Amino acid sequence: MGSRRNGKTVIMQLSKETIRYIQPSAGLITPPEGVFDLPERVIQFGTGVLLRGLPDYFIDKANRQGIFNGRIVVIKSTAAGDTDSFKRQDGLYTLCVRGIDNNNKTDETIINSSISRVLAAAEDWSTILLCAHNPTIQLIISNTTEIGIVLTDDNILDSPPSSFPGKLLALLYERYKVFNGSTESGMVIVPTELISDNGSMLKSIVFSLAEKNNLEKDFIHWLDTSNHFCNSLVDRIVPGKLPLSEHKRLEEKLGYQDELVVMAESFRFWAIESAHEKVNRVLSFSRTDEGIIVTPAIEKFRELKLRLLNGTHTFSSGLAFLAGFDTVRETMSDEDMSAFIRRLMMLEIASAMDGDTVSYNEACAFANSVMDRFRNPFMEHRWLSITVNFTSKMRLRNIPLLVRHYAKNKKAPEHMAMGFAGFLLFMKCTLSPDGDYYGKSGNKKYLVQDEHAARFAELWAKDDIEYLVNSILSDAELWETDLTALEGFPKAVMEKLQLLEKEGVLSGIGKMELQKTIA
């Protein structure tokens, strides 16, 4: 299959030149008229799939609605890879959005035209600095991974500075000099790196670098008063490239070649923390999609994601993997496991979260969206990868939920107790001659990637479940609290662990859910 040109079928590469030969069709959204004439309004540090699947998605959508009317200059910060694919395709790429939304299957294909050009910091630094001269550019977005936001002994006069904060500071300093420190020339800076308080952390590092580089006090004052560093929280699974065979089928269907195809789930969320009028004005594209929110505080959204998405993953991963399910999607096709996960979220996690920051109804609404994401037939999220650093994830994500539950109830939460028992059973491992720790599920061995694996192996070797449970739960150094002080919890965990060992995980879960249904 291909496009028609002069009566012939042609398979062509996606680009500004060939886009006119690509006809909109069912499931394919093409760029709007005049989009290539829009001014550059955004600088983006990073070419990664998360940026292309989330912020760039929102900006492209707003452009198609005639709201934002601006494009993105992308800066490739690292030396790895090249920008040739972006140049060949004039920044165009296909975004495949696939998932479950309100119980409905979604499958949307978009030619994203938000990127105007991609510049490599190592080769195009002088050109990048010229972007600071452009008055229409008022927004800077970044995703340089968590290790990108670090303080180094960077010289901002280098071409380019070595770190992302150094590059950002050099760009802002150039901006300050060109516009003589005018208030209006300040920028809105929104990092999307997956660390708490990412905007505040980036601002602190940029200020430290400014002092290390002995930049003038007037500049530092402008940096502080005219620029807005916003904390943000992003949430969208963007696996990136399609499998090769699926990629080829897509190109045949669409009639063009695309080296930059990206797949993303339908769920999308970007919370940006600010109450400033200028930030709201600059982020005008936030009005085009309910998945993006500009709000004075984002703590509520961080809690929802951490407890209901990540926390549910952690409570469920050991059980699901030992029950024989490799992926989250597979698990949701099992009636008992699906019921367990729903009741865990709705009856226990959402209830524990109910308070001043998050209401029970808000938690339940988010839980429903999580169920849709877990059922997504296009995502292959593997349970074994979720179990990496299992102990620390349990401590950070779920122990606070247990403590909150007991602040309201004196009865042990049955589903949390079962999830914790599944965690203990998953951590039943032995030391291998290769120096790693392995557990066993049926006839298959699995790698336990956890810094506390040796401790669990030692306790399981004693073959005393009561001793194991009490030893682990009472370890205040491990959990930052003594979990044996939670009334009924040690007994509930021990009973669940014995049930799992005796009946098998799937049967044990089934018996528990049957009892809940009868009750």
Domain 3-295 fold is: Rossmann fold (3.40.50)
Backbone phi, psi, residue 482, to 5°: -90, 105
Pick the closest to residue 488 from 391, 397, 405, 398 (CA basis).
Answer: 405
Q: Give the residue extent of every domain in the chain.
A: 3-295, 299-518
Q: pLDDT value at position 5?
A: 44
Q: pLDDT value at position 242?
A: 87
Q: pLDDT value at position 8?
A: 40
Give CA–CA dist 149/155, Å, rounded. Answer: 16
pLDDT in tens, the chain (519 residues): 344 444 444 579 999 999 988 877 767 999 999 999 999 999 999 999 999 999 999 999 999 999 999 999 999 987 666 789 999 999 999 999 999 888 888 899 999 999 999 999 999 999 999 999 999 999 999 999 777 899 999 999 999 999 999 999 999 999 999 999 999 999 999 999 999 999 999 999 999 999 999 999 999 999 999 999 999 999 999 988 888 999 999 999 898 999 999 999 999 999 999 999 999 999 999 999 999 999 999 999 999 999 999 999 999 999 999 999 999 999 999 999 999 999 999 999 999 999 999 999 999 999 999 999 999 998 889 999 999 999 999 999 999 999 999 999 989 999 999 999 999 999 999 999 999 999 999 899 999 999 999 999 999 999 999 999 999 999 999 999 999 999 999 999 999 999 999 999 999 999 887 776 655
Q: What is the SS3 assignment for 169?
A: helix
Give me 291's structure tokens.
Answer: 């998945």
Confirm if 119 and 74 have CB atoms less than 8 A apart. yes
Give me 162's structure tokens.
Answer: 């070595």
Sign of the Cα pseudo-torsion (180, 183, 184, 188, in order) = positive
Give the other-Cβ count within 10 Å of 396's Cβ: 15
**pTM of the predicted model, to two decimals?**
0.90
Give CA–CA dist 284/294, Å, rounded. Answer: 10
Pick the closest to residue 364 from 379, 351, 377, 374 (CA basis).
Answer: 351
Give me 218's structure tokens.
Answer: 């007037």
Q: pLDDT value at position 241?
A: 85
Sign of the Cα pseudo-torsion (484, 488, 494, 497, in order) = negative
Sheet holding 93-101, edge to edge: 28-29, 104-112, 93-101, 262-265
Distances (CA, A) of 241 to 30, 53, 147, 247: 20, 11, 23, 8
Distances (CA, A) of 490 to 390, 408, 512: 19, 18, 17
Counting Cβ atoms within 10 Å, is residue 433 exposed (0-12), middle (13-18) or buried (19+)?
exposed
DSSP state for residue 288 in the 8-state scheme: G
Give CA–CA dist 501/519, Å, rounded. Answer: 24
Residue found by looking up tokens 């099992």 in the block: 334
Residue found by looking up tokens 């004439």 in the block: 37
Among the four given CATH numbers 1.20.1050.10, 1.10.1040.10, 1.25.50.10, 1.20.1200.10, the one describing domain 299-518: 1.10.1040.10
Q: pLDDT value at position 429?
A: 98
Confirm if 192 and 142 have CB atoms less than 8 A apart. yes
